[in-house]
Structure 1
Amino acid sequence: MMTAQPTYLVLPGYEGSGPEHWQSRWESADPAFHRVEQADWDHPELSAWVERLDRAVAAERGPVVLVAHSLGCILVAHWAAAAAAAASATAAGAGTGVAKVAGALLVAPADIERAGVAALDGFCPVPLQPLPFPAVVVASTDDPWCAPDRSRHFADAWGARLVVPGAYGHLNTASGLGDWPDGRKVLADLTG
């Protein structure tokens, strides 16, 4: 259970999240939600995306909760793996931002290794180390970007709890989720 109000860092995926996406709606409804803006949503570059996430976490004084969708979930895995590598090179991980992360909501992780989208190749392979903070993976049974067995594989590898709400496609604007109150409940459970 968190004692201080966290900042929620919103991490959209490939091509960003438009105004009707649940991530954008959560940002509009709650000032504690802040998008980590990337320089180019259509041409993602792993090192630049990791650096922007790292700076965003470092800029926060209190606890942080990551709210990721699609490629944003893969970004979290890469960022955590890079932080773990940096921690092993420093005394007891001093100065790594992962200590600020109180949890991560990872919605519809994209199976980029099987997607066949050249713009995403720089994020391959997907890191499969356990995340150093509590996490929940939310995955649809009919996500065109990730089969249910791969979603479970990611959740297991990352040490995350898996929530399967049913058949909602890629859990994005096209899924018709609106403000997605069920997602807010999963987030509330994660943050205690």
Structure 2
Amino acid sequence: MNNVEEYDFIIQPGWMNSGRDHWQSHWERVLQAKRVNNSNWDEPALEDWINGLEQAVQTCSKPVVVIAHSLGCATLAHYALRFPRTIHAALLVAPADVERENAPSTLNKFAPLPLSQFDFPSRIIASTNDPFCHSKRAEQFANAWGSDLVYLVGAGHINAASGHMEWNSGLEELRSLLNTAESKLAA
């Protein structure tokens, strides 16, 4: 990826963290990214996760690009309300709908999800058959947050279990997002 050295990338995993085979772990190595260090991945607490993201942001010296997955997307939505204008751009992959009818009770702590527009360019990558976020809900998030929305057909939850390990085509989406962010800054 071109111009990686111009940004500080932060990996914000979802519930139970992203394992060794997950695309986020691969990207962490490729992008020399920082991973948010939450104290409890299995029993997530909203304040802990927001503070973990803020601690990661505070270690950055370049424009910050957050790469969030699943519950990490919900974390970023809450973070953006509390810390506006600290993020340069964000890629939100397979956002978890913590308000869905069958959501595990441990995720309810992240509800309600903020539906305010972000102060930074963002892109949601959603799947047409994600069991944790229906397409219409991903569209609602994109509209509310001011995010570009890209659908992957039949990609599940866009994680290692659905075959997304290195996920190099996702890196192309990240590159496109960064180009969009730079265009908006230049305008």
- Computed over aligned residues only, the root mean square deviation of the Cα atoms, in angstroms, reads 1.5
- Structure 2: which amino acid aligns with 1:131? F
Amino acid at match of 1:6: Y
Give runs of aligned pairs for residues 1-192 of structure 1, distance below 5 A. Answer: 5-31=6-32, 33-84=33-84, 98-99=85-86, 101-114=87-100, 115-192=102-179
Contact 2:90–2:123 at 8 Å: present in 1 too?
yes
Give the drift of 1:3. 10
Q: What are structure 2's unaligned runs of at least 5 residues? A: 180-187
CA displacement at 1:30 relative to structure 2: 3.1
Q: Is the 8 A contact 1:140 1:167 kept in 2?
A: yes
Aligned to 1:94: none
**Equivalent pairs: percent with the same residue?**
41
5+ residue gaps in structure 1? 85-97
Pick which of 135-144 and 45-54 moved more: 45-54
CA distance, structure 2, for counterparts of residue 151 and residue 72 of structure 1: 14
CA distance in 2 between counterparts of 1:150 and 1:122 reads 19
Task: For residue 67 of structure 1, report the CA deviation from its aligned partner.
Answer: 0.1
Instruction: Kindly state the Cα deviation for residue 42 of structure 1 after the two structures are TM-superposed.
Output: 0.3
Deviates more, 1:103-112 or 1:2-11: 2-11
The Cα of 1:62 is off from its aligned counterpart by 1.2
Change in CA separation of 1:61 and 1:124 when aligned onto 2, cut-off 3 Å: same
Residue 29 of structure 1 and its aligned partner are, at CA, apart by 2.7
How many residue pairs get aligned? The number is: 176
Distance 1:4 1:174 in 2: 31
1:48–1:191 Cα change, 3 Å: same
- Tell me the CA shift for residue 136 of structure 1: 0.1
Distance 2:114 2:48 in 1: 17
Q: Secondary structure at the match of 1:47?
A: helix
Report the CA distance between 1:178 and its aligned residue. 2.3
TM (norm. structure 1) is 0.88
TM-score under structure 2 normalisation?
0.90
Does structure 1 conserve the Cα–Cα contact (< 8 Å) formed by 2:159 and 2:165?
A: no
Q: Which amino acid aligns with 2:31?
A: D
Q: Residue 185 of structure 2 corresponds to which residue in structure 1?
A: none
**Counterparts of 1:72 and 1:160, CA distance in 2:** 16
Q: Say whether the 8 Å CA contact 1:4–1:63 is kept in structure 2.
A: no
One-letter amino acid of the structure 2 residue matched with residue 19 of structure 1: R
